[in-house]
Amino acid sequence: MLEVQNLSMRFGGLLAVDQVSLDVQEHEIVAIIGPNGAGKTTVFNCMSGFYKPTGGKILFEGKEIQGKPDYKISRLGLVRTFQHVRLFSRMTVVENLLVAQHRHLNTNLLSGILKTPNYREKEQKSLDRAAYWLDRVGLMDMANRDAGNLAYGQQRRLEIARCMVTEPKLLMLDEPAAGLNPAETKDLNQLIISLKEDYNVSVVLIEHDMSLVMDISDRINVINQGRPLASGTPDEIRRNDDVIKAYLGEA
């Protein structure tokens, strides 16, 4: 469903991403790994429309999306989280989930001000969807706290829930396990698998936690210094000499 072809991104003299290609099929979890500064987040930023790539193509469901404005890409069903969590911190947890559903509640101003039955019905649906996902990620009791006051792990889960209420087709997770303790990482592991199995969402994920990556990924792409190094199933990657060299060389 997603195809990235020879993607390049240059910042002045720095070629942060150089001819990277990858593809994601429906019902698949694909990981992008690589040492710090390899250009993984930059690939995400190009895919989600934050950067306009300097070269290459990005196809989503057969249509070219490179260079499209970020909010339009998100509306196509390509939604992401951030390496450094970005919540609306002075809004409550539920409100964070309601903001994300603005398109489900796309009624005109007047019907909202007058609270027409049609509006109420849609509003109730978004509340129910928010409640469902809060329950799913275990934040039901926090519903009316300010999002900024949550613990770090909870913030991470809220960010994923906030993506899920938009009913995305493809979810991009940038280091979702960063800063989580082992127990939380295990829950995350299960959550991501369930997103694929139960909600039919494809996932692209950037992650440094190798056991998580090897556990849940269907395929892995390795990037090193902006260039693609290897790609394949977890087993293939584990045995790939170049990858071993790159990681050992780094360590």
Ligand X SMILES: Nc1ncnc2c1ncn2[C@@H]1O[C@H](COP(=O)(O)OP(=O)(O)OP(=O)(O)O)[C@@H](O)[C@H]1O
The correct pick among 18, 20, 40, 209 for binding ligand X (CB under 6 A) is 40
Per rule CB under 8 A, is residue 59 in the interface with another protein? no
Per rule CB under 8 A, is residue 244 in the interface with another protein? no
Question: Is residue 79 within 8 Å of 172, Cβ to Cβ?
Answer: yes
**Window 142-181: contact mask with another protein (x via CB under 8 A):** -xx-x---------------xx--x---------------
Q: How far apart are CA 220 and CA 70, in angstroms?
A: 25
The correct pick among 26, 27, 37, 67 for binding ligand X (CB under 6 A) is 37
Q: How far apart are CA 71 and CA 92, in angstroms?
A: 22
The correct pick among 86, 120, 238, 239 for binding another protein (CB under 8 A) is 86
- H/E segment holding residue 235: helix 234-239
How many CA atoms within 13 Å lie on the side-chain side of 123? 12
Cβ proximity to ligand X, 45 vs 202, nearer residue: 45
The correct pick among 12, 113, 121, 183 for binding another protein (CB under 8 A) is 113
- Options 31-39, 127-135, 183-191, 221-229: segment touching another protein (CB under 8 A): 127-135
Q: How far apart are CA 125 and CA 206, in angstroms?
A: 32
Least distance in Å: CB of 42 to ligand X? 3
81 Cβ partners below 8 Å, 6+ apart?
A: 156, 159, 160, 163, 171, 172, 173, 174, 176
Question: Is residue 105 within 8 Å of 165, Cβ to Cβ?
Answer: no
Cβ neighbours, 10 Å, residue 45: 21
Least distance in Å: CB of 95 to another protein? 6
Strands 14-24 and 170-174: unpaired
Start-to-end Cα distance in the chain: 35
Per rule CB under 8 A, is residue 89 in the interface with another protein? yes
- Options 32-40, 58-66, 71-79, 182-190: segment touching another protein (CB under 8 A): 71-79
How many CA atoms within 13 Å lie on the side-chain side of 167? 7
Per rule CB under 6 A, is residue 39 in the interface with ligand X? yes
Binding site for ligand X (CB under 6 A): 11, 14, 16, 34, 36-42, 83
Binding site for another protein (CB under 8 A): 48, 50, 69-72, 74-75, 79-80, 82, 86-92, 94-95, 98-103, 105-106, 109, 112-113, 115, 127-128, 130-132, 134-135, 140, 143-144, 146, 162-163, 166
